[in-house]
Amino acid sequence: MSKLVIHQIPCLSDNYGYLIHDPEADTTATIDTPEIGPIEASLKSHGWELTHILNTHHHYDHAGGNLELQEKTGCAIIGPRDEADKIPGIEKEVGDGDTFLFGTHEVQVIGVPGHTLGHIAYYFEEEGVAFVGDALFALGCGRVFEGTPEQMWSSLEKLMALPDETTVYCAHEYTQANAKFAATIEPGNTDLTARIAKIDKLRARGEPTVPTTIGLERKTNPFVRPSSDEIQQTIGLVGASAAAIFTEVRHRKDSF
């Protein structure tokens, strides 16, 4: 099995698109379709032909380019079963616990509802990489638009159960804004302080702060650290359930 080649593409104002390429099978997928131009330019520069679209959820900055790319390339579209009616051009519907082959690589589908009701993540266990769309961000998580906070919390728990070394490719560069919020929730977390200094340096040079890893989020992301004494004290919920703590942190971020 050849190694999966991953290429990250800045799209729109703060989205990331991703091309993944399996050299052995000569298959190439785009994770979501935020913006046609940069995706096509990247395909061309690599000499790759698009064979698949893997959608994480139905929002326009994720599935808005589906039909145009499908028309131009004839690629197959795989997406979330639980919101299939909102995914333009979908051919293969997948949901939590499903696996399928992308070229020679097995892909595991993880249902991560909350941001949208059908949101899914794509996990390549052998490669140790996960494409999480708008479920989890560097130092943040997606807004809970369609589901409940409890649902979002159990989605994040599933992602946090992946190995620490897992590389996490999320769909937006929101890290610096997330960092400002995180610093108000857990100011005494020295891992967080050190990470914020790195983030500020990267952004000052215009460089991405994505991908991240599960381990790094576990140490620094205030949305997935309900057992932190400092977080519990900051939000006044000492000893509360993890879901309740998550809910309050999410609520505070929404009005930050």
22, 32, 61, 96: residue in contact with Fe ion (rule CB under 5 A)? 61
By beta-carbon proximity to Fe ion, the closer residue of 56 and 151 is: 56
The answer to whether 134 is a known catalytic residue is yes
Angstrom distance (rounded) from CA 199 to CA 95: 34
The answer to whether 119 is a known catalytic residue is no
Angstrom distance (rounded) from CA 204 to CA 234: 30
By beta-carbon proximity to Fe ion, the closer residue of 134 and 248 is: 134
Q: Which residues of 86-122 are buried (b: 16+ CB within 10 A; e: fewer)?
A: bbbbbeebbebebeeebbebebbbbbbbbbbbbbbbb
Contact region with Zn ion (CB under 5 A), list: 46-54, 58-66, 69-77, 157-165: 58-66
The answer to whether 62 is a known catalytic residue is yes
By beta-carbon proximity to Zn ion, the closer residue of 159 and 231 is: 159
| DSSP-assigned letter for residue 172 | B
82, 134, 186, 217: residue in contact with Fe ion (rule CB under 5 A)? 134
Q: Is the dihedral of CA 174, 162, 123, 212 positive or negative?
A: positive
Q: Of residues 103-162, which lie at the interface with Zn ion (CB under 5 A)?
A: 134
Which residue in 21, 22, 32, 61 is the catalytic one? 61
The answer to whether 21 is a known catalytic residue is no
- Identify the H or E element spanning 17: strand 15-22
Catalytic positions, written as ranges: 57, 59, 61-62, 115, 134, 172
